[in-house]
Amino acid sequence: QTLASLDHFYYYLEDSKIKNNSLTKSLHEFLKEVRKNKNPIDNQKYYDNIMFYLVKTGNFKLNYENSADELLSCIIKELFDEELNFKNIKVDSFENMSFQVFEKIRLGSEIFRLFGLAQYKENISITLSVFSPGYTKIGESIMKFYQGKDKNFVPDWSETLFLEWPQYIFIAYTSDCLKTHGLKLENEGGVLIEEKKYEFVSASLYLRSNEGISHYMSLNKREKNFYLFNDEKYHKILPNEAIKTNAEITYTVHALVNDIEDLLIK
């Protein structure tokens, strides 16, 4: 549901020239069905295809401890690798990159444009996801990561120069301190970073029952409204409505609304 809610990402999958038997193609077929059906669909066939691909590549080891943030982070990384391979862009390291390789990625990769962050300190580094210790408000992680004063982030980009900001920032949480109980969406305003405004658009919610069985829900913004997806059911969440479920937020996605200069012009 998260990926189906990201319009620019879906358009990338739709327009991609990457052939059949690829994660890009399988994911597009899945999200196409999700987007055209208002109700949640039976996703077992699509899920099996995607998981088979991820496990086959050896970059995702399926076990009972896997969480939604690990899965989504892996999917984004695999799509990036698939695109780079298709466009014959070779990358030896995300942490130590030459300017020439970085320029090839910046100019040639749509996945990087959608999810990639880049920084320069002693060399150029890029990442497609950020792991945060979590704070009181959902949007606070973006500002803390940018300020570079908390070394508990992965990657740790403290005292660095940011080079690129993406369309979407994917943040996974390494602690369970961020909960939904009492959360009101009207209190989660946008975050301003370097004349860019990011708004919260999606979250994965995790519930553990007394039997220890994991259960995930998905909170997503579709057009102007938020919806909470819970298996076969979903309902609209009003901005002033306090979420009563006391679920752990395992990841959030924040979308670039527009550059501040463009917003001021309008």
For each of the domains in the chain, give its residue range(s) and CATH number, in order of start. 3-265 (3.90.70.10)
Q: Where are the strands (E) in the chain, listed by range?
A: 117-120, 124-127, 130-132, 161-164, 168-173, 191-193, 196-208, 214-222, 225-230, 233-237, 248-259
Which two three-digit tokens encode residue 67? Answer: 């969480």
As a whole number of angstroms, the distance between CA 123 and CA 191 comes to: 27
Tokens 């990384």, located at residue: 77
As a whole number of angstroms, the distance between CA 125 and CA 146 comes to: 14
Per-residue pLDDT tens listing for the chain (266 residues) = 899 899 999 999 999 999 878 899 989 988 988 888 765 556 677 777 777 777 777 666 665 555 788 889 999 999 999 999 999 999 999 998 999 999 999 999 999 999 999 999 888 999 999 999 988 888 899 999 999 888 899 999 988 899 999 999 999 998 777 888 778 888 887 899 988 999 999 999 988 766 566 688 889 998 888 988 876 678 888 888 888 778 889 999 999 997 544 444 33
As a whole number of angstroms, the distance between CA 32 and CA 4 comes to: 8
- Pure H helices in 87-181: 99-108, 110-115, 140-147
- Give pLDDT, residue 231: 67
- Give pLDDT, residue 61: 65
Which two three-digit tokens encode residue 234? Answer: 């979903």
As a whole number of angstroms, the distance between CA 125 and CA 167 comes to: 18
pTM: 0.89
